[in-house]
Chains A and B, each alone.
Chain A
Amino acid sequence: MTSTNPARPGALGRFRICDFTGQLAGAGATKWLAAFGAEVIRIEDPVTQGLWDILRPMGPFVDERRGPDFGGGFNNHNTEKYGITLNLRTARAKELLTEIVKRSDVVSENFAKGVLERWGFGYEQLRQIKPDIIYVSNCGFGHRGPYSDYKTWGPIVQAMSGLTFLSGRADEEPAGWGYSYMDHTGGMYMAIAILLALVHRERTGEGQWVDMSCTDSGLTLTGTSLLDYTVNGRPARRSGAPDSNHSTSPAMAPHAVYPCRGDDEWIAIACRDDADWGRLAQTIGADWAGDARHAALAGRMAAQEALDAQLADWTRPQEKWALARALQAAGVPAAAVAKPQERIDQDENTRAFGLWPTVTHAKIGQVRVDGLPVHLSKTDWQIERGAPCVGEHTDQVLRELLGLSGEEIAKLHAEGIV
């Protein structure tokens, strides 16, 4: 990992990231970079054992062992990264961090606003250390604006950006997203921002600060609804707004999730056009399906609730996988609602894609993690090493990157600096 050896493999092997990110909204971004070979060095606090990242000690766990090195989610989001500890309350640790920043292309963090600045590493200080540094901060409401001092988690980002509101049954309580969709997606936008800033630096030589806000990113994902408001004056908050399993953009019907045989088993069916409906009606083969009023989209949209009820009666006694196969064979888009075990352990597509790589973690051992949903023909991703334990690579980074001697490193440990 020394700076004199830039020949790391991978599409991003020539870049080094001084990484303060945690949770998913930040760590997800640098997971991507590390999987493509970037040298991502996580900087953590030795005093709190890196517990600023609340996922470090949190389940799921592979066995009964607990502690900051055993969190399953943390391992999932921090594969292929290096981990070092620096006690930034001390002047010596700040000197060491300064030396790391000098050798880095990017500084990334998703602390609350102002944390890095209080340590003396805000953008103005970072650019004095390295003029072309790329600094990407990512927090729920960003570093400027009336809410910049307010705190968020994924579900709050989704609520404040309109995404929660757009998931649910008509005129009922929002169902929202059953996970932190915007932690994932905020992390992706953070990765995009880092990559964009690197491309810009390649072309112009300029570094910069990118003030990311996950709620900004989330708001852009509601754009078609927003334009209906700004252009037509039609708000999404209105009586009779559609069930979110229905589709108005584009208009499709029937289009929903229907019950199948068994406990909590479901199938999604989407008729894109009249031809899809014709094929579905033929498969159903009942009088109600052949009703001429349903032949054209307008008729089906008008009768959608009744049609959904009839279709649900038809799907209810059927097995979801067999029905999905039959509908696909008939030329109708359909998919069983897959449970985690079904899409992870029983799905030939995700298996063939190599989507669930097994990594080796220094303490957890071998465990499967999320892979990446892409393949690059020449420089594909690699995820083999698990997340770093607290301080796992401190000595290695101090020695190889900063050129410190064994004696100097021992002294840093003894003085509680690393």
Chain B
Amino acid sequence: MSGSDRASGGGALAGLRVVELANEKCAWAGKLLADMGADVILVEPPSGDVARGYGPFLEDEPGPDRSLHWWHHHTSKRGIVLDLETEPGRAALRKLAAKADILLEAEAPGVLAERGLDHPPLLAANPRLVYCSITPFGRSAPRQDELATDLTVLAAGGPVWMNGYDDHSLPPMRGLGNQGFAMGCHYAVMSILTAILWRGASGEGQHIDVSLHAAANVTTEAGSYVWLVARETVQRQTGRHASQVPSMPSQTRCADGRYVTTGFPPRRPSEYAQLIEWMRRIGLDENFPETVFLQMGAERASIDLSKIGIDDEVTAIFGAGREALCLIAANVSAEEFFEGAQQAGIAVGAILSPEEAFENAHFKARGMQVEVEHPELGRRFRYPGAPYALQKGAWQISRRAPRLGEHTAEVLAEIGR
């Protein structure tokens, strides 16, 4: 698909050209823009971006066009090679930036300035440019030069402190999937779209400074605001919210060995009534001594959550609700537990692996499986679908990730060599 075809395509961002300097820290932001129809031109050095060497690989064989990390993060982009260590390479990038709407980069502070490619000269040449920098600590931080990886961003930024197990002799955890980079990329995309809307009114571009460390810091929910408001420190707990006050376990293992999360135990009288009925249906009500408390819950006018631990009856009802869910879980599969509880109006979740979610009928029905053609392999592979279902200007993977230098000649011809 050529550039002009892209520009006439139907995505919400059709007509916008993005120059992305290949870097794992901004790759996800580029993908979010590209899948919405922006013409994203991914610039790599002649040796290729290092992320082409990130596993897992197609058939477990490494190779620059076989990285599944690369495949996932660079869909819908065109790829070109420019050697920014040489003047012709830098000149070509300046030319690209002069005609672009957005420049997206995640180089260490100073790297681009040394090459004359930082935002001051590029914005001077193209005042409509939205130039977005993603760095570990922002462009003006006292410790901006510290080295960072996804793990260190999440450790320094707060999420790791909150994730882990009740047993604090075990290390706190980070979740997989480069979520530390993703957090920064989400804020980058929000910033870029905000700046594009501003440009629509003013005609002016600007520079956006995104800090990964700051992004993690304000993506910690109560961890931050419990300290900001009450100066209390949340403590990690297995599979549930870190809290300044210990809470009851919420994960439990089902008969099939899979885990479920019971979330909030039942809170409404109607939910207690449904719970009793569910236990009766599967023959568990007889051997559950706390049924009497479930009955009390069902018969009350309301159950005040703030009275847990204060009012003995409310505490007992709430505890019995949790116990009942655990007993049911131990007797059914995770899927049966999820369906049974949800049909009783109780919000619970099954802890699915990514592939179990992907193959689940609900996600399939919502179009979360899309096929992407890899013509040189003569194969199509299934990818995850749209994170948001726009009906007009819809999300779409328009092509697989680019091979190294695949569109260099095409793009350089467009900008006039």
Give complex CA distance A373, B180 in Å. Answer: 13
In the complex, chain B residues whose CB is within 8 Å of the CB of A191? 190
Q: Residues 338-360 of chain A: 1 if any B CB is under 8 Å from the residue's CB, otherwise 0?
A: 11110111001110110110000
- Which of B54, B151, B365 contacts A145 (CB under 8 A)? B365
Q: Which of B82-90, B278-286, B317-325, B347-355 makes up part of the contact surface? A: B347-355
Give complex CA distance A222, B182 in Å. Answer: 11
Nearest Cβ on chain B to A76's Cβ, whole angstroms: 4
- Given A223-B72, A227-B381, answer yes or no on A179-B242 (Cβ-Cβ < 8 Å): yes
Give complex CA distance A232, B72 in Å. Answer: 14
Q: Residues 186-209 of chain B: 1 if any A CB is under 8 Å from the residue's CB, otherwise 0?
A: 111111011111101100101111
B238 on the A face (CB < 8 A): yes
- Given A72-B230, A375-B209, answer yes or no on A159-B349 (Cβ-Cβ < 8 Å): yes
- Which of B171, B215, B250, B356 contacts A162 (CB under 8 A)? B356
Q: Which residues between 36 and 93 of chain A lie within 8 Å of chain B, taking CB atoms? A: 36, 57, 59-62, 72-73, 75-76
In the complex, chain B residues whose CB is within 8 Å of the CB of A153? 263-264, 347
Q: Which of A253-261, A281-289, A390-398, A407-415 makes up part of the contact surface? A: A253-261
Give complex CA distance A184, B188 in Å. Answer: 15
Q: Residues 382-399 of chain B: 1 if any A CB is under 8 Å from the residue's CB, otherwise 0?
A: 111111111111000000
Contact A146 B228 (CB under 8 A): no
Nearest Cβ on chain A to B240's Cβ, whole angstroms: 6
What residue in chain B is nearest A214 (Cβ atoms)?
B387
B378 on the A face (CB < 8 A): no
A163 on the B face (CB < 8 A): yes
B92 on the A face (CB < 8 A): no
Give complex CA distance A257, B383 in Å. Answer: 32
Contact A204 B225 (CB under 8 A): no
In the complex, chain A residues whose CB is within 8 Å of the CB of B209? 374-377
What residue in chain B is nearest A248 (Cβ atoms)?
B55
In the complex, chain B residues whose CB is within 8 Å of the CB of A252? 149
In the complex, chain B residues whose CB is within 8 Å of the CB of A232? 56, 58-60, 68
Contact B230 A224 (CB under 8 A): no
Contact A227 B71 (CB under 8 A): yes
Dominant SS among interface residues on chain B: mixed
Contact A151 B251 (CB under 8 A): no
A220 on the B face (CB < 8 A): yes
Residues of chain A at interface, number, CB under 8 A? 152
Contact B228 A335 (CB under 8 A): no
In the complex, chain B residues whose CB is within 8 Å of the CB of A341? 227, 231, 233
Nearest Cβ on chain B to A245's Cβ, whole angstroms: 6
B25 on the A face (CB < 8 A): no
- Which of B147, B238, B241 contacts A328 (CB under 8 A)? B147
What residue in chain A is nearest B147 (Cβ atoms)?
A333
Give complex CA distance A174, B270 in Å. Answer: 31
A5 on the B face (CB < 8 A): no
Contact A251 B55 (CB under 8 A): yes
Nearest Cβ on chain A to B227's Cβ, whole angstroms: 4
Nearest Cβ on chain B to A339's Cβ, whole angstroms: 6
Contact B236 A178 (CB under 8 A): yes
Chain B interface extent, by class = 35 or more
- Which of A189, A195, A200, A249 contacts B56 (CB under 8 A)? A249
Contact B354 A225 (CB under 8 A): yes
Contact A162 B354 (CB under 8 A): yes
B409 on the A face (CB < 8 A): no
In the complex, chain A residues whose CB is within 8 Å of the CB of B233? 339-341
- Given A151-B342, A372-B218, answer yes or no on A198-B197 (Cβ-Cβ < 8 Å): yes
In the complex, chain B residues whose CB is within 8 Å of the CB of A161? 352, 354, 357
Q: Which residues between 19 and 47 of chain B lie within 8 Å of chain A, taking CB atoms? A: 32, 36
B152 on the A face (CB < 8 A): yes
Q: Which of B107-115, B157-165, B288-296 makes up part of the contact surface? A: B157-165
- Which of B213, B221, B382, B390 contacts A183 (CB under 8 A)? B221
Nearest Cβ on chain A to B13's Cβ, whole angstroms: 7
Give complex CA distance A332, B148 in Å. Answer: 9
Give complex CA distance A135, B234 in Å. Answer: 36
Contact A222 B218 (CB under 8 A): no
Name which of A175, A251, A331 has the most chain B CB atoms within 10 A of its CB.
Answer: A175
Contact B381 A164 (CB under 8 A): no
Give complex CA distance A334, B355 in Å. Answer: 32
Nearest Cβ on chain B to A278's Cβ, whole angstroms: 15
In the complex, chain B residues whose CB is within 8 Å of the CB of A149? 342
Contact A220 B384 (CB under 8 A): yes
Contact A177 B197 (CB under 8 A): no
Contact A151 B143 (CB under 8 A): no
B316 on the A face (CB < 8 A): no
Contact B261 A156 (CB under 8 A): yes
Q: Residues 366-391 of chain B: 1 if any A CB is under 8 Å from the residue's CB, otherwise 0?
A: 10100000000000011111111111
Nearest Cβ on chain A to B150's Cβ, whole angstroms: 8
A96 on the B face (CB < 8 A): no
A181 on the B face (CB < 8 A): yes
Nearest Cβ on chain A to B325's Cβ, whole angstroms: 13
A291 on the B face (CB < 8 A): no
- Which of B159, B230, B352 contacts A59 (CB under 8 A)? B230
Name which of A153, A256, A258 has the most chain B CB atoms within 10 A of its CB.
Answer: A153
Contact B353 A176 (CB under 8 A): no
Nearest Cβ on chain B to A27's Cβ, whole angstroms: 12
Q: Residues 203-224 of chain A: 1 if any B CB is under 8 Å from the residue's CB, otherwise 0?
A: 1101011111101110111111
In the complex, chain A residues whose CB is within 8 Å of the CB of B68? 224, 227-228, 231-232, 249
In the complex, chain A residues whose CB is within 8 Å of the CB of B226? 60, 72, 340
- Which of B71, B158, B161, B353 contacts A235 (CB under 8 A)? B353
A141 on the B face (CB < 8 A): yes
- Which of A72, A173, A208 contacts B238 (CB under 8 A)? A173
Nearest Cβ on chain A to B107's Cβ, whole angstroms: 16
A295 on the B face (CB < 8 A): no
Contact B224 A146 (CB under 8 A): no
In the complex, chain A residues whose CB is within 8 Å of the CB of B60? 232
Contact B138 A11 (CB under 8 A): no
Give complex CA distance A184, B168 in Å. Answer: 26
- Which of A76, A219, A226, A328 contacts B228 (CB under 8 A)? A76
In the complex, chain B residues whose CB is within 8 Å of the CB of A166? 175-177, 354
Nearest Cβ on chain B to A45's Cβ, whole angstroms: 17
What residue in chain A is nearest B196 (Cβ atoms)?
A199
Contact A200 B393 (CB under 8 A): yes
Q: Which residues between 288 and 328 of chain A lie within 8 Å of chain B, taking CB atoms? A: 328
Give complex CA distance A206, B394 in Å. Answer: 13
A367 on the B face (CB < 8 A): yes
B210 on the A face (CB < 8 A): yes
What residue in chain A is nearest B165 (Cβ atoms)?
A175
Instruction: Supply 27 A–B pairs (Cβ within 8 Å), ascending by A.
Output: A11-B194, A72-B225, A146-B361, A152-B349, A153-B347, A156-B349, A157-B349, A174-B251, A178-B162, A179-B221, A179-B242, A185-B182, A188-B190, A192-B32, A196-B388, A199-B200, A216-B388, A219-B358, A250-B55, A259-B171, A337-B172, A341-B231, A355-B218, A369-B225, A370-B225, A373-B187, A374-B211
Sample of 17 more A-B contacts, CB < 8 Å, known A181-B219, A232-B68: A145-B363, A153-B347, A179-B223, A181-B175, A184-B219, A185-B183, A185-B219, A192-B387, A199-B193, A227-B381, A228-B56, A256-B151, A338-B161, A344-B217, A344-B224, A373-B217, A379-B198
List the 3 closest A-B pairs by CB distance, nearest first: A373-B214, A162-B354, A156-B349
